Amino acid sequence: MESYTWHIPHRAGNEEVASWKMCVPIGQRQRVMTENHDMPTAGHLGSRKTIARIAARYHWPGMHRDIRKYVRNCERCMKYKSSQLQAAGKMLTQVPEEPWATVCADFVGPLPRSKHGNSMLLVLVDRFS
């Protein structure tokens, strides 16, 4: 810790609030973000919570921007977080140009048995109609 610089953030009106924050050198910033986002104890939180977690103990110029970029590019978050998944678009449908060019089929049932013992109904729909 001797090789680190310390930073005391101060806001006007908060004379009694001071917390020491470690100034992270460029070569250590990736490690700090990894420890506070990727590790099992970090929980792959979103940008806002990861920034709050890191900002409580560390400081470096452009920290918020760096953390947002790091979280946005996290492979695991992109793959598994629902907030990162793109909404499915509308399915493209082709309109048939003539009757009986495209027919859709489906079964309905089971229904009460008919006098012939049938319990399913085959439904056909001509998409042109």
Q: How confident is the model at residue 77 (pLDDT cuts 50, 70, 90)?
A: confident
Whether residue 59 is found in the same domain as residue 99: no
- 103 and 74 in one domain? no
97/113 same-domain check: yes
**What is the spatial distance between Cα 79 and Cα 50, in angstroms, rounded to a whole number?**
18
- Per-residue pLDDT at 23 exceeds 70: yes
How does the average pLDDT of the chain come out, rounded? 84
Q: Number of folded domains in the chain?
A: 2
Structural tokens at position 127: 């998409």
Concatenated DSSP letters of 61-107: TTHHHHHHHHHHT-HHHHHH-GGGSPPP-PPP-PPPSSTTSSEEEEE
Q: pLDDT at residue 18 above 60?
A: no
